[in-house]
């Protein structure tokens, strides 16, 4: 095989993305006030953010961050095992572990990093990691980094998961799943997966990025919503860029497992610890999550309203009861066209295309938050109905014209 220049490889790949309409561009958010964002000089109602409870600009959360930064500075100044582990990190870990009934917790700079760390620290060659096909990319990447055997089962298919586990009898086994699937909004069959992993001596690992704060009593997430505890779900990760409105991720587990990960996971050891001020902000978010149930109640009522109105208008809704409400469109061009029409009508709803979702399953990922109003939700439904109707009338290449 002949050497090829990386610059030529890049050009060829860009061309392939242009041909399949999967070029992605970052949009600059010039200003933000709750769900109103300014983009290209135009104010839009944002239906794409994961700030499910509206905490990212809450005064208590912002002041906790500012105050802590004023005392401790911005950076943590080192990795956790060197000198980057501060009191705010320790307090956040302790409070979260106690809240959810786990022995111990560990704060990472991001959910992605936490998932890489878990797999790389607990699995290796000869072990198996069984995963739902629709798991978030970082769970899949984590298994690849661990050099274990990665086996994927069709979405939410517990019998297939059992077959995958029984087909690999040697070594350690982990079954990893999103609790709420990030692009589909539906929920994993957690109770069945608990039974399955128990009978197969496998560890169940749950990523509750889109459930924590939003679901269950006191916002304790998908595990509590399914009436499960740390006994049945021994390892749980809580990315904090969603309902917590911040950054980082808390991993919860037993003292022995968390201790092992904190001593051996390369993504933890060889990365600067997150800013202590962010940990302080996340402690403030945790207080609000626990003490302000109205945010969850409001979100639940907006989800019900969106689905009722969506069904009335015949929108292609997905079977999701959570804040993630995908509008399934199929091809990339159609998804881009509808997103563009929504933007003209004053709404930001990003088109999601492969490789984020499987080929032929492009969609709009509508996300609802406690800060939206009923009028904004009604307005989005009307705009969607109009855009879908319009797309049937316009020529196929209109969006790119
Ligand atoms: C299920 C899931 N896990 C992990 C992550 C990654 O978390 P982070 O954004 O903190 O890296 C995300 C989203 O970004 C997610 O949806």
Domains and CATH numbers, the chain: 25-54+293-400 (3.90.1150.10), 59-291 (3.40.640.10)
State whether the beta carbon of 182 lies less than 6 angstroms from ligand 1: yes
Q: How far is the CA of 369 from the centre of ligand 1 (A)?
A: 17
Contact 360, 217 (CB under 8 A): no
Q: How far is the CA of 228 from the centre of ligand 1 (A)?
A: 22
State whether the beta carbon of 112 lies less than 6 angstroms from ligand 1: yes
Q: How far is the CA of 112 from the centre of ligand 1 (A)?
A: 6
Instruction: Show Cβ contacts of residue 263 under 8 Å, excluding neighbours closer than 6 positions.
Output: 81, 269
Whole-angstrom Cα distance, residue 36 to residue 30?
11
- Tell how far CA 5 is from the center of its chain: 35
Mean pLDDT, residues 351-374 taken together: 94
pLDDT tens digits, one per residue of 154-209: 999 999 999 999 998 899 999 999 999 999 999 999 999 999 999 999 999 999 99
State whether the beta carbon of 138 lies less than 6 angstroms from ligand 1: yes
Contact 190, 234 (CB under 8 A): no
Selection from 88, 125, 145 nearest residue 267 by Cα: 145
Q: How confident is the model at residue 390 (pLDDT cuts 50, 70, 90)?
A: confident
Atom of ligand 1 nearest to the CA of 138: 4
Selection from 191, 376, 222 nearest residue 302 by Cα: 376
pLDDT tens digits, one per residue of 284-328: 999 999 999 999 999 999 999 999 999 999 999 999 999 999 999
Nearest residue (CA) to ligand 1, atom 4 = 111
Q: 392 pLDDT exceeds 90? A: no
Reading the block at residue 126, the tokens are: 């000869």
Average pLDDT, the chain: 95
Whole-angstrom Cα distance, residue 98 to residue 93?
9
State whether the beta carbon of 239 lies less than 6 angstroms from ligand 1: yes
Contact 323, 368 (CB under 8 A): yes
Selection from 60, 84, 55 nearest residue 72 by Cα: 84
Any alpha helices (H) in 187-275, and if so which ranges?
190-199, 221-225, 255-264, 266-269
């Amino acid at each position: 095989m002949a050497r090829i220049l990386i610059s030529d490889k890049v050009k060829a790949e860009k061309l392939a993305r242009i041909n399949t309409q999967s070029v992605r561009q970052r949009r600059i958010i010039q200003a933000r006030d709750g769900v109103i964002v300014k983009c290209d000089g135009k104010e839009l109602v944002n239906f794409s953010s994961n700030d499910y409870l509206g905490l990212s600009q809450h005064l208590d959360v912002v002041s906790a961050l500012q105050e802590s930064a004023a005392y401790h500075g911005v950076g943590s100044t080192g990795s956790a095992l060197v000198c980057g582990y501060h009191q705010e990190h320790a307090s956040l870990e302790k409070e979260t572990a106690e809240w959810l009934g786990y022995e111990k917790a560990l704060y990472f700079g991001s959910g992605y990093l936490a998932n890489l760390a878990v797999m790389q620290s607990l699995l290796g060659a000869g072990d198996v990691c069984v995963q739902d096909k629709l798991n978030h990319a970082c769970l899949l990447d984590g298994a690849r980094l661990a050099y274990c055997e990665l086996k994927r089962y069709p979405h939410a298919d517990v019998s297939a998961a059992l077959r995958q586990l029984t087909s690999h009898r040697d070594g350690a086994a982990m079954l990893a799943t999103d609790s709420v699937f990030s692009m589909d909004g539906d929920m994993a069959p957690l109770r069945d997966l608990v039974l399955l992993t128990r009978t197969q001596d496998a560890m169940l690992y749950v990523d509750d990025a889109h459930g924590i704060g939003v679901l269950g009593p006191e916002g304790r997430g998908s595990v509590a919503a399914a009436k499960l505890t740390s006994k049945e779900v021994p390892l749980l990760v809580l990315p904090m860029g969603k309902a917590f409105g911040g950054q980082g991720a808390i991993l919860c587990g037993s003292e022995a497992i968390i201790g092992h990960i904190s001593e051996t996971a390369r993504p933890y050891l060889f990365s600067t610890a997150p800013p202590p001020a962010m940990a302080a902000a996340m402690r403030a978010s945790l207080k609000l999550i626990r003490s302000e149930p109205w945010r969850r109640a409001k979100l639940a009522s907006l989800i019900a309203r969106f689905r009722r109105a969506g069904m009335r208008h015949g929108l292609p809704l997905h079977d999701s009861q959570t804040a993630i409400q995908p509008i399934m469109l199929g091809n990339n061009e159609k998804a881009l066209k509808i997103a563009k029409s929504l933007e003209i009508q004053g709404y930001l709803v990003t088109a999601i295309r492969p490789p984020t979702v499987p080929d032929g399953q492009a969609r709009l990922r509508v996300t609802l938050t406690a800060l939206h109003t009923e009028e904004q939700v009604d307005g989005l439904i009307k705009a969607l109905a109009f855009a879908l109707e319009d797309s049937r009338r316009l020529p196929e290449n209109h969006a790119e014209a």
